[in-house]
Amino acid sequence: MDRFFAGDAFSKLPWYTTSFFPLFYAALGKPFAPRYDEALRGLLIHGQADDGYVGDHVAATFHMAHYFRLMGQPTPKASQMVARVLPTKVMDRFFAGDAFSKLPWYTTSFFPLFYAALGKPFAPRYDEALRVC
C-alpha cells in the first residue's frame, strides 16, 4: 500500500478507486491506516463540488459516499449529493416503463447502495421496481 501513498501517487488514480482501499482492509478484518485515511479523505473533500459531486462523475460521487460509510463517518454534503444524483422527477422517469429493465444487471445495485452509503432510506416504489427486474 505504501507505494500508492508515496508522494501524491494516490491522487493520480481514478476517483472511483477511493473506496477500494478501506474496503480491502475491511475484507482483511484490519483497520485502515490513519495516514492513508487522512490522505484519501483530504483528496475527496478537496475534490468535492458544492453540489456534492466528485470529479463531476456519478460513480466517483458514489465511491466518496461509500468511502465515508466504510470509515464510519458522515458523508460530506450528503444532502447535496442526493439532490443532484437522484432527484425524484429523474428517478420517477427512470423507473417508468421498462427503461430500468434494460440496464446491465450489475448497475441495478447502484441505487440502493448509494442511498445506504448516505444513510438514507430507499423509496419503496423504487425498491419494488428493482425486485421485479
pLDDT digits (tens, 9 = 90+) for 106-132: 555 566 666 776 677 766 666 665 555
CB 84 within 8 A of CB 78: no
b/e map of 63-93 (b: 16 or more CB within 10 Å)?
Answer: bbbbbbbbbeeebbbbeebbebbbeeeebee
* Bigger pLDDT: 62 vs 34: 34
Tens digit of pLDDT for each residue in 29-57? 999 999 999 999 999 999 999 999 898 88
Cell of 29: 478484518
At 133, the pLDDT band (50, 70, 90 cuts) reads very low
Q: Evaluate if residue 15 carries a pLDDT over 80.
A: yes
Amino acid sitting at position 11: S
* Gap between the Cα atoms of 112 and 123, Å rounded: 9
CB 114 within 8 A of CB 85: yes
Distance of CA 99 to the CA centre of its chain: 23
* Gap between the Cα atoms of 66 and 75, Å rounded: 8
